[in-house]
Chains A and B, each alone.
Chain A
Amino acid sequence: MSASSQTSWQVAARRVATYAAFFCLLFWVGFPVYYMLITSFMDPPELGVKPPHWIPQEPTIENYREVIIGQTGQRGDYGTTTEFSRMMPALLNSTFVSVSVVLLNLLIGGMAAYAFSRFDFRFSRFAYLSVLMTRVLPALSLIVPLFIILRKLKLINTLWALIFTYTIFILPLTIWILREYFDTLARDIEEMALIDGATRRQAFRLVVAPLAVPGLIAVGVMSFMEAWSEFFFALTLTNSLTYPPLLMSFRNLHQVNWNALAAATTIGVLPPVIVAFVFQRYLVRGLSEGAVKG
């Protein structure tokens, strides 16, 4: 009798604790994001009133419109009129860079991972360990020679500098994750295809590649996010061609239209956020395999 009432009391306590913790999660994640979102839907004078409006009194999409057409500051003295005109080209550049990185990374990394998984060759263990070791090197610390190499190649301030460096810095992770995938795919099926007279290329295309799709998606998504978000190389190797360093240059303006900046930020995070939500399952799997096993 007393045992069961204690249990039901425990169940209730557990439920209360769960929802209290859930509220913490909502607040922790939601508060900063929510504040940026409401800022992006406010007219400049509404930002900074005391006490703050937690819901915009006269919600407006004017900030978004101005950022997209590249004409801001038409509503009074809130920054110069053309400061955001570089925004849309930067988003296009970011898209080009990210998509190129994903494709190159899948191609080069996929080939290498397949080689490590299926062939036993001279130095294979050494080469694999060397590739893994490069993951440990902080990209930050290679910037000085990279800058000089790319300057000599006349690639400074081009998108190619970014595509080149991002692809290569993501490669080790890609190779690791894809190798795991290729390893777990049944070799027997592939061997059977080979015995049945398929060439290795056919076996790869018809048997291995379709089965490896989840792994390819996980890796593709992760490299997209990385390429879209990378800031340090973009800052040092280019003059704000892509979205992240451009945000930084807005931040540095003497007088910036914070509401337009909120709108610009929101537009720019939509691609990675949408990709992350759509491919959530693959992403979590790729993340945990890449981080824990890899």
Chain B
Amino acid sequence: MTVAQARKTSAQERKHWDRKWIPYVLLAPAIITIVVVILSPLVTTIYYSFSNIDLIRDRTTFIGFDNYVELFSSRLFWKAVEINLKFAAIVVVVPTLMGLFFAVLLVEDFVGRGLGRTLLILPWALPWIVIGLLWNWVVHSQFGALNGLLYSLGLIDKYIPFMADENWALVFTAMASAWRQTSFSAILLLAALQTIPEDLYDAAKVDGAGMRARFRFITIAWIRPTLTIVLLYNIVLGFLQFDAVWIMTQGGPGDATMLISVLLYRYSFINFDLGMGAAVSNVLGLITMGVGLIFVRLTYRSQSTYS
């Protein structure tokens, strides 16, 4: 065997070796970290939810379903569920409708469209915590922008302490969440609207379809997949929102804005009852997993038709 031949075979061998092992090497960091940080805590949360955790003595005792029994028989939990459902209703309806409204506006050709599209990004670019602060300025009882506006317009004589009222507090924490989520929804819907071929509308016009019919049977039909995804995202946010609510009310006044996520934080990091916290985590996880599974099913299907 000549030297050149030997070199050639070893190169081929190396190439073969590459093909076989490279993917595992490339994947290792991602898979290992995902297993350590996401999957192992997942298993642990499930275990913890059946345990009593004594942080001081560092002792974990298995107690079966006691945490869940306590949780499901507590009035606090069902109150949180009720509050969260109302909150989620606003966070689903407002951003989806307003997002669609703004998206439809921003496919129109008019002076200011570029400015509109750029401005639309702004709420999405702000951290949730800042959204909470912004809306805190809007609804504040002494110097709030909304009070100021109503007062300037002569609609009120004295400022309304919105956040001291249980209903207003829930509405405005939900509106703060809806504010950012509207941008997110509009960005996605706008991207979908831009893919509608113009001749579809022309053809429909020739066929005598009115504006309403065109909107319903072309626009909505075309963006339906995106609309579904937007709805799912908004539902998930309705149950996972924490930041904006925490900075605005910390669950108050009373328990008026105590979402399930706020309850989770209270159990885990205020009462330091980590077992109960884990039980709440799992309930919350099951809700969003349910929504998420629909989501993965839909997207995976759309991806396989795509490729």
Which residues of A come within 8 Å of B, CB atoms? 15, 18-19, 21-22, 24-26, 28-33, 35-36, 39, 47-48, 50-52, 54, 108-109, 111-112, 114-116, 118-119, 121, 124, 127, 129, 131-138, 140-149, 164-165, 167-169, 171-172, 175, 183, 200, 225, 228-232, 235-236, 243-245, 247-248, 251, 258, 261-262, 265, 268-269, 272-273, 275-277, 280, 283-285, 287-288, 291-294
**Is there an interface contact between B143 and A258, defined as CB atoms closer than 8 Å?**
yes
CA distance A258 to B187 in the complex (A): 32
Write out, one digit per residue, whether chain B residues 235-266 have a CB within 8 A of any chain A CB (1) or not (0): 01001101100110000000000000100110
Could you tell me if A141 and B45 are in contact, using CB atoms closer than 8 angstroms?
yes
Contact among B110, B137, B145, B296 with A136 in the assembled complex (CB-CB below 8 Å): B296
| Residues of chain A with a CB closer than 8 A to B268's CB | 143-144, 147, 236
Chain A CB within 8 A of B19 CB: yes
Residue of B nearest to A35 (CB): B145
B253 CB to closest chain A CB (Å) equals: 16
CB <8 Å contact, A265 and B133: yes
List, in ascending order, chain A residues with CB within 8 A of B191's CB: 284-285, 287-288, 292
Q: Kindly list chain A residues whose C-beta atoms are within 8 Å of the C-beta of B101.
A: 21, 24
Instruction: Pick the most buried of A137, A138, A167, A265: most chain B CB atoms within 10 A of its CB.
Output: A138
Q: Which residues of A contact B265 (CB under 8 A)?
A: 236
Q: Is B164 an interface residue (CB 8 A)?
A: no
Residues of A within 8 A of B50 (CB): none
Contacts of B229 in A (CB 8 A): 291-292
| Beta-carbon contact of B240 and A164 below 8 Å | no
The reply to whether the CB of B1 lies closer than 8 angstroms to some CB of chain A is no
Nearest-CB distance from B11 to chain A (Å)? 10
Q: Is the CB of A283 within 8 A of B34?
A: no
Interface: B219 (CB within 8 A): no
How many angstroms from the CA of A287 to the CA of B22 in the assembled complex?
30
What are the residues of chain B within 8 A of A232 when measuring CB–CB? Answer: 242-243
Asked if residues A136 and B292 are in contact (CB atoms below 8 Å), the reply is yes
Contact residue among B30, B42, B264 (Cβ-Cβ distance under 8 Å from A109): B30
Residue tally, chain B, CB below 8 Å to A: 101
Chain A residue at minimum C-beta to C-beta distance from B102: A25
Q: How far is the CA of A81 from the CA of B132 in the complex (A)?
A: 25
Option from A52, A112, A124 in Cβ contact (under 8 Å) with B30: A112
In the bound complex, residues from chain A placing their C-beta under 8 Å from that of B167 are none
Contact B33 A18 (CB under 8 A): no
| Interface contact B34-A168, CB-CB below 8 Å | yes
**B37 contacts A146, CB within 8 Å?**
yes
A133-B296, A134-B39 in contact; A231/B127 too (CB < 8 A)?
yes
User: Which of the residues B124, B137, B285, B289 comes within 8 Å of A276, measured between beta carbons?
Assistant: B124
With A32-B134, A145-B41 known, 10 other A-B pairs at CB within 8 A are: A52-B143, A112-B26, A137-B289, A138-B284, A171-B33, A225-B125, A261-B133, A265-B134, A288-B191, A292-B226
Minimum Cβ distance to chain B for residue A56 (Å) = 13
Q: What residues of chain A lie closer than 8 Å to B188, measured between beta carbons? A: 287-288, 291-292
Q: How far is the CB of B126 from chain A (nearest CB, A)?
A: 6
A253 to chain B, nearest CB (A): 13
Among the stretches B71-79, B80-88, B111-119, B196-204, the one at the interface with A is: B111-119
Please tell me if the beta carbons of B122 and A29 are within 8 angstroms of each other in the complex: yes
Please measure, in the bound complex, the distance between the C-alpha atom of A228 and the C-alpha atom of B129, giving whole angstroms: 11
Using Cβ atoms and an 8 Å threshold, which residues of chain A touch B242? 140, 231-232
Interchain CB contact under 8 A, A164 and B133: no
Contact between B281 and A26, CB atoms less than 8 A apart: no
B240 in contact with A288 (CB, 8 Å)? no
Beta-carbon contact of B225 and A228 below 8 Å: no
Candidates A18, A138, A148; contact of B285 at CB < 8 Å: A138
Contacts of B56 in A (CB 8 A): none
Cα of A207 to Cα of B288 in the assembled complex, Å: 40
The chain B residue sitting closest to A20, CB to CB, is B105
CB of B231 within 8 A of chain A? Answer: no
